[in-house]
């Protein structure tokens, strides 16, 4: 019986984490779309890590030619922090932005 209970509770944690991860990915994608000078990488642009219920994320972006990369990445980071804080009740340790290049 104890093993069954442990198995069920661990599966509930996994499904809860999966749903939460999807929600975080959607929030990041919608927030990034609001900034027209930023484009998310097509594949695996968003990576989310969880350790002891503390989340961190790495986001791969491209910045439109002619715009300041540092300003745009900091703007995205600030907006994401505000969105996560207002929409989700979880703690984010880091929101890392990796700029992979520029686009025209």
* Structural domain span for residue 72: 2-103
Report field, pTM of the whole predicted structure over 0.75: yes
Q: How far apart are CA 24 and CA 32, in angstroms?
A: 12
Instruction: Name every residue whose Cβ is closer than 8 Å to that of residue 98 and which is 6 or more positions away in sequence.
Output: 58, 59, 60, 61
The number of folded domains in the chain is 1
Count of CB atoms situated within 10 Å of the CB of 38? 23
The pLDDT tens digits of the residues spanning 1-46 come to: 445 445 445 556 667 778 888 999 999 999 999 999 999 987 889 9
Residue 65, domain CATH: 3.30.70.1350
Coil, strand or helix at 99: strand
The pLDDT tens digits of the residues spanning 79-97 come to: 998 888 888 877 788 999 9
């Amino acid at each position: 019986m104890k093993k069954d209970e442990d198995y069920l509770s661990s599966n509930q944690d996994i499904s809860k984490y999966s749903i939460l991860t999807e929600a975080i990915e959607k929030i990041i994608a919608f927030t990034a779309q609001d900034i027209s000078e930023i484009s998310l990488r097509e594949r695996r642009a968003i990576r989310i890590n969880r350790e002891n219920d503390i989340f961190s994320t790495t986001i791969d972006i491209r910045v439109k030619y002619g715009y300041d990369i540092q300003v745009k990445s900091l703007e995205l980071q600030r907006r994401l922090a505000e969105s996560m804080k207002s929409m989700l009740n979880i703690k984010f340790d880091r929101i890392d932005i990796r700029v992979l290049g520029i686009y025209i």
